[in-house]
Amino acid sequence: MIRNPESTYRILFYFATGGFLIATLFPFYYLAVIALTPRGNLYDVGVTPNGFNPGAFIEIFQIAPLHHFIFNGVVLALLTTAIVLVIASITGYVFGRFEFRGRIPLMLIVLAISYFPPAAFLIPLFEMLTGNLTVFGLSSPDLFNTPGAMVMPFSALFLPLSIFILTTFFSQIPDGLEDAARVEGSTRLGALYRVIMPLSAPGLATAGVLTFIFTYNEFFFSFLMTDGSADSWAPLVWGILQYQTQYGELYNYMAASALVGMIPVAMLVLFAQRHIISGLTQGALKE
């Protein structure tokens, strides 16, 4: 028997939330601790920095072109997001607003793609995107070290989820609105762009942000589809690996660059936060 349920629940709530926050935020804190510790003291890092060397955040840019790697990552992520949103919008429109034979099986096949581990596709994709595949005498293009080699697999892997999110959102827009737009003079695509997409803004924001974060953080294809130099469109992963030299591992620089590399995603999430929250929760409740 709980004598005072209200305050007990409140204490439990703070306890649980506090525990959760510590578990998620501690890695960030520890990255900061490592980044601030001078290289000579890295053998002995406790819960507080052993020394204070904020210069690491500057030095990382002097040793390697970290900004260039971050730029590459952002461009790749933006390209992928744009491609995914355009294709997923049109697909979501068809799945969400049309009744046709084979709709459900087709949707399940699309979704099934996302069940496969990306590694399963690596060898065929690598062969294809490096120009080693010949079909009917036509050689596939050599996209190694270009954005295409990463943007294409990223888009393919992340399309199913975005299609699902947008299908759900688009199917909830009342038919009358689309009919009204068409009577007023829109084509179907026009109605999608002028009415259905603006009204599904939370869904688009959710799909877009999830795609961006996934792509920006992606390791597997990013690591394998370029040779690792900033000029060959290598993203952040490669930038962090620059501090792994033959003389040793510069953990403080790696930690500092990891923190700096988070900035674009943090900015995006702050910017789109409101939309994402309503996107994730509102889906089922819309008119």
Partner 1 sequence: MSDVILEDLSKSYRDVIAVNKINLDIEDGEFVTLVGPSGCGKSTTLEMIAGLTERTSGSITIGDREVSGLPPKHRNIAMVFQNIALFPHLNVYDNVSFGLNIRDYDGAETEKRVERALDIVQLPEMGDRMPEELSGGQRQRVAIARSIVREPDVFLMDEPLANLDAKLRVHMRTELQRLHNQLDTTIIYVTHDQAEAMTMSDRMAVLNEGELQQFAPPLTCYNEPANVFVAGFIGSPSMNLIDGAVDGRAVVTEYFSVDARPVDGLSDGSDIVLGIRPEDVYLSRNTASVGAPSDPVEVVAEVIEPMGDEIFVYLNFEESAEAVMEGQDSVQDVDQLLISVDPDSDIEEGDLIEIVFDRANTHLFDGESGDALSHDLTETSGRES
Give residues in contact with partner 1 (CB under 8 A).
Answer: 174, 176-177, 179-187, 190, 194-195, 198-199
Least distance from partner 1 to the Cβ atom of residue 183, Å: 4
Q: Which is nearer to partner 1, 68 or 286 (CB)?
A: 286
Least distance from partner 1 to the Cβ atom of residue 205, Å: 14
Q: Which is nearer to partner 1, 105 or 176 (CB)?
A: 176
Identity of the amino acid at 235:
P
Among residues 261, 266, 274, 248, the alpha carbon closest in space to that of 39 is found at 248
Least distance from partner 1 to the Cβ atom of residue 94, Å: 17
- Token output for 152: 């294409």
Give Cβ neighbours of residue 240 (< 8 Å, ≥ 6 apart): 254, 257, 258, 261
Q: Which is nearer to partner 1, 181 or 254 (CB)?
A: 181
Q: Which is nearer to partner 1, 39 or 194 (CB)?
A: 194
Q: How far apart are CA 49 and CA 27, in angstroms?
A: 14
Least distance from partner 1 to the Cβ atom of residue 199, Å: 6
Give the angle subtended at the CA of 149 by the CAs of 144 and 153, to the nearest 5°: 150
Q: How far apart are CA 188 and CA 118, in angstroms?
A: 35
Least distance from partner 1 to the Cβ atom of residue 186, Å: 6
**Is residue 181 a contact partner of residue 192, using CB atoms and an 8 Å limit?**
no
Q: Which is nearer to partner 1, 94 or 196 (CB)?
A: 196
